[in-house]
Amino acid sequence: MIQQEMCATNLIIFGPPGSGKGTYASRLQLKLGIPAIAMGDIFREISKEETGLGQRVKEYMEKGDLVPDDIVIEVLKERLAKDDCRSGFILDGYPRTMEQARALGEIVEIDAIIRLLVPEWIIVERLSTRRICKKCGEVYNLRYLKPKKQGICNKCGGNLYQRTDDTAKVIKERLKVYEKQTQPLLKYYEGTVPSIEFKCEKIDIPPEAAVKEILNGLEALSIQ
């Protein structure tokens, strides 16, 4: 296993597309002092590289296929071996398969699962109004997380865009796929890794309020 500092905090955040995983994880990393690791972001960066791995990853992503487990696991091992993970991490978008979950257990011990429970109607509304910065990947929402200047990222000044799959029909299909993939994983961790649940019942709940509730849940587990 990867050697970490004593009292390292290793977390996985589970939630369907549009549940706020990335938004909450980015804020939790500041509160907990550990990196949020979004595997999707890592593979998007790798796909831009002029390497054999970069080309392979790009081909999978362009076809809409999942990157094979062996590649995902190897990339994750390299990421978790970096110094900023010595005190722990928050995994977003991993694991997605049972093989990935078992491989993760051989690399590090997971301290807790954060599960986001969000009704379908909220997810559809959120994703259909989501906008993303082309340059830095910062996420906005036209309802409750608006940029200061329309179409422009507050953080880096990049242009904002809407993903082509952020439509109601495609979103509902993505939710079905997520449920099918995730249920076995939650069952796998059940009884062995403690978990907390955050139930979102309002579309415009401030991210800070959600993060505060998640932190309270972690504190109740003596994890912070």
Active site residue 115: no
Active-site hit among 21, 27, 115, 126: 21
Active site residue 130: yes
- Record the tokens describing residue 73, joined without a space: 């696991």
Active-site hit among 82, 96, 148, 199: 96
Active site residue 163: yes
Active site residue 169: no
In single-letter form, the type of residue at position 91 comes to: L
Residue 37 burial (10 A CB sphere; 0-12, 13-18, 19+): buried
φ and ψ of 90, to 5 deg: -125, 115
Active-site hit among 27, 126, 130, 131: 130
Among 13, 67, 64, 71, which residue's Cα sits nearest to residue 38?
A: 13
H helices then E strands: how many in the chain? 8, 8
Active-site hit among 146, 163, 176, 199: 163
In single-letter form, the type of residue at position 21 comes to: K
- Report the catalytic residues: 21, 96, 130, 163, 174
